[in-house]
Amino acid sequence: MTGPLLRAAGLRRTYRTPGSLLSPASARTVAALDGVGLEVGAGERLGIVGESGSGKSTLVRTLLALERPDAGEVRYGSRPVRPGPARRLRWFRSQVQMVPQDPMSSLNPRLRVGESVAEPLVCLGVGGDHRERVAEVLAQVRLEPDAARRYPHEFSGGQRQRIAIARAIAPRPRLLVADEPVSALDVTVRAEVLALLRRLSEDAGLAVVLVSHDLGAVRLLCDRVLVMRAGAVVEQGRTGEILTAPRHDYTRGLLAAVPRLPEPEDARP
C-alpha cells in the first residue's frame, strides 16, 4: 500500500440539540465536526487531543465507520470506508481495531480471558490455531499464559487494559485506535500502558491513533499531535514542536492544565 493507511478529508457532522419545555425555540444546531481532515501513515503514532466536547468521540466513531458524516469521507488506503452491514466491513475491521477506554465494560465478565481475546478471530473469520494466537498475544502484552483461563474481574485495571490490547492486536491489524485508553488508570500504570503501545508500534510497525484529553499521554507516545476545539482542528504538527512552542492559546491552556506523566522505569515493558 502506498500513501497513508487512513485518511479523512472534510469531515462534517452536526447535531440538533432539543430546546427546553419552556423554550422550545432554544433548540440549536451544534457542529461536532467542522471540516476535519487527517492522515495516518504506516507505523505512525498520531495523538488527537482536546477537552470534552471538542469532537474527539464523534471523530473516532466516524473514523471507525460507526457513524456516517454529513460531509467528507474516510478512506483506508484507496478504499472508501462507510458504515454498513458487518459483513461488508469485515475487511476494514481486520485492518483497524480499537482499544476502549474502559476494558471492564468491554470484556464480557462471563467469558474467560482467552475466549474474549479470541473473539475478533472468530468474528472476522481468521484462520489458524486460535489458542496458539491467544497465547502469543498475551505474551506480547506481558501477561502469564494462565491468564487465558481466568476471568476479567481477577485482574487489576492495568492488566485488563493489557487484555484489551491483546484482543485488539489478535487479528494482526495495521492500525489501532485507542480511545482514552489510560484515563481510568493511576499515573504509574498509565505510563506503563503507553510504553506498551509504543513497543508494539516499534516492534510490529503498528500505527496508533491515541485519542486523549491529556497532552502528557501524547508526549510519551505520539510522533504527531492534532489539537481539536469545538469540532475543528486548531493546531497540528510534530509532538515535540507543539508541546515546546504551541502556537494556539487553546493548546497552551491544555499544556498548563495537565500534569506530566512520569517516565516508566522500563520504557520497553
Contact 161, 181 (CB under 8 A): yes
Residue 262 has a pLDDT of 57
Residue that the C-alpha cell 485518511 belongs to: 7
Question: What is the distance of C-alpha 240 from the center of its chain?
Answer: 21
How far apart are the C-alpha atoms of 105 and 136, rounded to whole Å? Answer: 24
How high is the pLDDT of residue 149? 96
What's the pLDDT at 206? 94
Question: Is the CATH number of domain 1-83+174-269 3.40.50.300?
Answer: yes
Roughly how many angstroms between the first and final C-alpha of the chain, as a whole number? 30
The CA angle 226-90-37, to the nearest 5 degrees, is 20
Give Cα separations from 115 to 27, 147, 179, 201 (angstroms): 46, 11, 23, 25
Nearest 5°: CA angle at 169, between 209 and 154? 105
- Which grid coordinates belong to 81? 470506508
Give the start-to-end residue ranges of the domains of the chain: 1-83+174-269, 96-172
pLDDT computed for residue 269 by the predictor? 47
In the chain (269 residues long), the average pLDDT of successive 10-residue segments reads 87 82 68 94 94 91 95 96 94 95 85 96 94 96 94 92 94 94 81 91 92 85 94 94 88 75 52
The whole-angstrom distance between residue 142's C-alpha and the CA centroid of its chain comes to: 20
CB neighbour list of residue 40: distance below 8 Å, 6 or more residues apart? 4, 5, 6, 7, 46, 175, 207, 209
